[in-house]
């Protein structure tokens, strides 16, 4: 059973989804590859959804740079390997599709890595927004490029305030 709740954030209302095992979805309105909460149950008291909302509040306020909520990611072994590689990207640090493919042990699978990144069901928590084209250009984001720009700028600003405080 998947439970869900809306999360009103600075990028519009997002939909958070979880099983009893972990968070399985963070979706924006008009999210590519998401058809909505079919057969899901609305539950704003679900402990993992509440934890996710709290951690997202901390992220957007600039106080949180990593997430602790357990995940329940379903995908092919390659997709899960890509999503695992994304979770290793530090706050405010970007990578390329080629680098992510290489980390999975399949350096020639750049397009497949890009497809897996695009199918990431847990936006922000699994930071697919930190992946850029090999030239450093913004490319692809299931939540839209404006949101990707916002997230990258948010992390750059928060990272700058951390290093400036030291």
Nearest to 23 by CA among 57, 54, 49: 49
For the question of residue 24 being annotated catalytic, the response is no
Nearest to 5 by CA among 39, 38, 53: 53
SS3 readout for 27-43: EECCCCCCCCCCCCEEC
* Residue tagged active-site, from 128, 151, 152, 158: 128
Helix (H) or strand (E) holding 16: strand 12-18
**If DSSP codes are grouped into helix, strand and coil, which group holds residue 124?**
coil
**Beta-bridge partners for 22:** none
Return d(Cα 48, Cα 67) in angstroms, integer.
12
**Which residues are catalytic, by number?**
128
């Amino acid at each position: 059973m998947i439970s869900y709740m809306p999360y009103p954030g600075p990028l519009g209302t997002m939909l958070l989804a979880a099983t009893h095992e972990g968070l399985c979805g963070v979706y924006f309105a008009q999210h590519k590859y998401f058809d909505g909460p079919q057969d899901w149950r609305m539950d704003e008291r679900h402990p993992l959804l509440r934890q996710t909302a709290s951690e997202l509040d901390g992220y957007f306020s600039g106080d949180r740079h990593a997430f602790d909520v357990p995940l329940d990611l379903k995908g092919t072994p390659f997709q899960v390997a890509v999503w695992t590689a994304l979770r290793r990207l530090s706050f405010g640090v970007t990578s390329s599709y080629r680098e992510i493919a290489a980390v999975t042990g399949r350096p020639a699978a750049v397009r497949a890595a890009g497809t897996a990144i695009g199918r990431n069901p847990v936006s922000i928590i699994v930071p697919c927004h930190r992946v850029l084209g090999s030239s450093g250009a913004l490319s692809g984001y299931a939540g839209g490029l404006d949101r990707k720009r916002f997230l990258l700028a948010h992390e750059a600003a928060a990272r700058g305030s951390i290093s400036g405080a030291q």
